Chain A
Amino acid sequence: MSSNIKSFIFAFVMCCVVGLLLTLAAEGLKPLQARNMLVDQQKNILRALGIMQSTDKWSKDQVLSVYTNTVESIYVDAAGSLVEQPSDADLPMYVIREGDSIQRYAIPFKAYGLWSWIHGYIALDGDASTVVGMSVYKHAETPGLGGECDKPWFLNQFVDKKIRKPNGQLVSVGVVKGKVVDTIASDQQAYYVDGMSGATITGVGIERDLRTTLQQYEGFASALLKEKQS
């Protein structure tokens, strides 16, 4: 047998064996992985909503049960009314109700930083203007620089910031270059957080895409505010 044919046969058999083994491993582990991903998503929603602190170490079952008992997943359309059968254009959100009224709600966002999409949740109070928390669960920014965007020191700054002027105009939360206390006038500081040093572009991306996301939910926010007033 010529050496070329031998090589082909060897390569073919090897591919079959390796392919089979990897398929078995991937399929066998899939349920465990899917559960981990679900728990991770719910954990991040709970963190944004301020129910779970970043220092809490909860078991998977604990996360699942707390989530099921407190959070309701809904879809709204651009005008802010509830959609039963969601389509692609509808907006997902996660709400906590107290009685019938919405006490706080989390919305998913994604922002393009320097290298990657940064995925996370931002949660707002029922007044649709105060941030109750933020979490980031996926990104590929530079560790130590833009990678700081998933660290508690950065995310916790968003708590109690305002996304809306007293007159109702949406301004979102800005990420400044440097420290807020050094750069922003004291009556505007409620709308800004400190940036990450060495990661200006990550900060700019988060600021820009956070505003875009919040704008999409303005229909819901004004409906919510109207409901609260009446």
Chain B
Amino acid sequence: MKISKTAAYKTFTAPLVSANPIAVAVLGICSALAVTTQVLPSIVMMLAMTFVLASSNVVISLLRNYIPKNIRIIVELVVIASLVILADQLLKAFLYDVSKQLSVFVSLIVTNCIIMGRAEAFALGNGPWLSFWDGLGNGLGYGYILVVVSAFRELLGAGTLLGFQIVPDAAYAAGYVDMGLMVLAPGVFITIGLLVWLQNKWTGR
């Protein structure tokens, strides 16, 4: 069987394009606004989010036949919150500067509706293998939009990418000015709006 025919492949790729959590479902916008002023924090946010999403999906999927129905949401939240605390602690230990930059937004992954949404909509009804791919796909689908948006914002707003200066000094000397708007919140709305439009144009919705 070709790899593109497997259920895991389909589960993984759907949230990357056709069911993208940000561009199609417009979920998780709050953190997308906050962390995308630079590329590096966006990449770390993508990794943290993917880690939490994939692991929470697997854990909840493994427990799905044992979780009592009446405390289902609480159990899901406890699993998600624990994983987020773990991710936060790991960042503080190994990537301190980036964790300072992300500050409260790592802990706020708990409230990211993508995670709860995938737990409810997918992990409770599917096995751990598929749930893992669903989590991975959604995490990366969320993350790559973040990285694309932040690349635009950092390049236009500060003239750098990953902290390296891209716009040459000569351009500044000739009167080029960084676009301050891109660093502020409206910059994200404009960029994400354009991305959503491109995406829908491309997938023909």
Chain A residue nearest to B70 (CB atoms) is A7
Q: How far is the CB of B20 from chain A (nearest CB, A)?
A: 25
Q: How far is the CB of B41 from chain A (nearest CB, A)?
A: 10
Q: Which of A3, A15, A40 contacts B96 (CB 8 A)?
A: A40
Q: How large is the interface on B (under 10, 10 to 19, 20 to 34, 35 or more residues)?
A: 20 to 34
Stretch at the interface among B71-79, B110-118, B141-149: B71-79
Residues of A within 8 A of B66 (CB): 10
- Alpha-carbon distance between A39 and B74 when the two chains are bound, in angstroms: 39
Residues of B74-91 whose CB lies within 8 A of A: 74-75, 78-79, 82, 85-86, 89-90
- Cβ-defined contact, A3 with B94, below 8 A: no
Q: Which of B71, B89, B104 contacts A33 (CB 8 A)?
A: B89
- Cβ-defined contact, A3 with B68, below 8 A: yes
Q: Is A144 an interface residue (CB 8 A)?
A: yes
Q: Is B93 an interface residue (CB 8 A)?
A: yes
- Cβ-defined contact, B85 with A29, below 8 A: no
- Alpha-carbon distance between A148 and B122 when the two chains are bound, in angstroms: 41
Q: Is B34 an interface residue (CB 8 A)?
A: yes
Q: Interface on chain A toward B: helix, strand, loop, or mixed SS?
A: helix
22 cross-chain CB contacts under 8 A: A7-B70, A7-B71, A10-B66, A10-B67, A10-B68, A10-B71, A11-B71, A14-B75, A14-B78, A15-B78, A22-B85, A26-B89, A29-B93, A33-B93, A36-B92, A39-B96, A40-B96, A140-B103, A140-B104, A143-B34, A144-B37, A144-B185
Q: Is B151 an interface residue (CB 8 A)?
A: no
Residues of A within 8 A of B184 (CB): 144-145
Q: How large is the interface on A (under 10, 10 to 19, 20 to 34, 35 or more residues)?
A: 20 to 34
A residues apposed to B, CB below 8 Å: 3-4, 6-7, 10-11, 14-15, 18, 21-22, 25-26, 29, 32-33, 36-37, 39-40, 138, 140, 143-145
Q: Is B123 an interface residue (CB 8 A)?
A: no
- Cβ-defined contact, B96 with A36, below 8 A: yes
Residues of A within 8 A of B92 (CB): 29, 33, 36
Residues of B within 8 A of A40 (CB): 96-97, 100
List 17 extra interface pairs beyond A25-B85, A39-B96, CB under 8 A: A7-B68, A10-B66, A10-B67, A10-B68, A10-B71, A14-B75, A14-B78, A15-B78, A18-B79, A22-B82, A25-B86, A25-B90, A29-B90, A33-B92, A36-B93, A36-B96, A144-B184
Q: Is B183 an interface residue (CB 8 A)?
A: yes
- Alpha-carbon distance between A14 and B71 when the two chains are bound, in angstroms: 12
Residues of A within 8 A of B97 (CB): 40
Residues of A within 8 A of B94 (CB): 32
Residues of B180-196 whose CB lies within 8 A of A: 183-185
Residues of A within 8 A of B89 (CB): 25-26, 29, 33
